[in-house]
Structure 1
Amino acid sequence: MSTTQSERLRGLLEPLAAAKQLDLEEIELSRAGRRRVLRIIVDSEEGVELDTCAELSREISEKLDETDVMGEDEYVLEVSSPGADRPLTEHRHYVRATGRLARFRLTAGPDQDELVARILAVDEEGLDLEVPGVKGRKPTSRRVAFADIARARVEIEFNRKDKKEEEA
């Protein structure tokens, strides 16, 4: 997608997402046969419900029909949340992942390859992590600066208790 089209789409769609207290995370335009697929990824502090995606999809469709930003070619519109395996790239992604287990690829240090740890706290400079103990050892605390993170992704935990369950 050209930069100008991407910028035009972002400028057009960001206010619609913001009106629903959503962050417009990603806009992707790709080909699927003769049609184009426009994928819009949105997220929020509380996550995104299916009904909210459906409402936003209708609003985006109406807005796109009012403008020429998509041109005359046919396209399919998809509006969704990021999914569990999305990379953590923005400060707000780390904040939303607080309490979750994550896999990090670090740029330097003893764990340059990979580190799996729970995100305990996030500030402007980096993360406070809890590294699980191995073979009966206690977990250890670790501080990692954002500059030392090459890649990060939340690990899916099937036996993790949800915050709502813990509060009940």
Structure 2
Amino acid sequence: MAPDPKLRSADLPSQKQVIELLDGEFARAGYEIDQVVVDAAARPPRITIVADGDNGLDLDSVAELSRTASELLDQLDRTGDTPYVLEVTSPGVDRPLTEHKHFRRARGRKVELTLADGAQLTGRVGQGDTESVEIVVRDGRDFAVRRIELADVVKAVVQVEFSPPSPRELELAGETGKGA
């Protein structure tokens, strides 16, 4: 397969090259690369790296990963004197939860689920495994834990919360000591 002429004209590395170059360093820092977008058509050209880890991605980590990525990318002959914007970012709250690791990282967070049978469910992510996840849901004035098979989840998105969850809800989610 011939290289993309847009990438060649901008002298930027390919998505695959960026991942191969940075994956090990990001992993050593405790993060994994979720996505790389190389946009040579943008002015200036842009390389965006979306990274995530089990404890999220704070601003200090973004800065450190950005420095590491910049140093390694600057060593490539391909970039030469071509100016480009490098952005290291987290997936954001609007990223759908599609894999076990996404649910694991969202543990303790409120999510909205759409199930294969069309049912919609809002609850807090609890413990899980590669096949299922526990969701803490309202049950009258109390809470209950439902085990949901990941194969039955059609859509899952983290919800933004403006008030702290109840200690009981967090306890059921396995997040004792993190709430109000």
Q: TM-score range by the shorter chain?
A: 0.7 to 0.9
The TM-score with structure 2 as length reference comes to 0.75
User: Which runs of 5 or more structure 2 residues have no equivalent in the other structure?
Assistant: 5-12
The counterpart of 2:17, out of the listed 8, 16, 24, is 8
1:158 and 1:31, CA in 2 relative to 1: closer, same or farther beyond 3 A?
Answer: farther
CA RMSD of aligned residues (A): 2.9
1:167 and 1:141, CA in 2 relative to 1: closer, same or farther beyond 3 A?
Answer: closer
Q: Is the 8 A contact 1:8 1:69 kept in 2?
A: no
Report matched runs for 1:74-89 at 5 Å. 74-89=83-98
1:166 and 1:119, CA in 2 relative to 1: closer, same or farther beyond 3 A?
Answer: closer
The counterpart of 1:150, out of the listed 151, 154, 165, is 154
1:31 and 1:105, CA in 2 relative to 1: closer, same or farther beyond 3 A?
Answer: farther
1 CA distance for matches of 2:44 and 2:35?
20
The counterpart of 1:28, out of the listed 37, 61, 67, is 37
1:6 and 1:69, CA in 2 relative to 1: closer, same or farther beyond 3 A?
Answer: farther
- Compute the displacement of 1:164 (Å): 9.0
2 CA distance for matches of 1:164 and 1:69?
50
Amino-acid identity (%)? 36
The TM-score with structure 1 as length reference comes to 0.79
- Compute the displacement of 1:106 (Å): 1.9
1 CA distance for matches of 2:79 and 2:105?
32
The residue aligned with 2:131 is: 125
1 CA distance for matches of 2:41 and 2:119?
36
Q: Is the 8 A contact 2:14 2:38 kept in 1?
A: no
Q: Is the 8 A contact 1:35 1:73 kept in 2?
A: no
2 CA distance for matches of 1:99 and 1:120?
6
Residue type of the alignment partner of 1:47 = G
Range 79-88 or range 52-61, more displaced: 79-88
The residue aligned with 1:52 is: 61
- Compute the displacement of 1:31 (Å): 5.6
1:130 and 1:69, CA in 2 relative to 1: closer, same or farther beyond 3 A?
Answer: farther
2 CA distance for matches of 1:141 and 1:56?
37
The residue aligned with 2:122 is: 116
1:46 and 1:33, CA in 2 relative to 1: closer, same or farther beyond 3 A?
Answer: closer
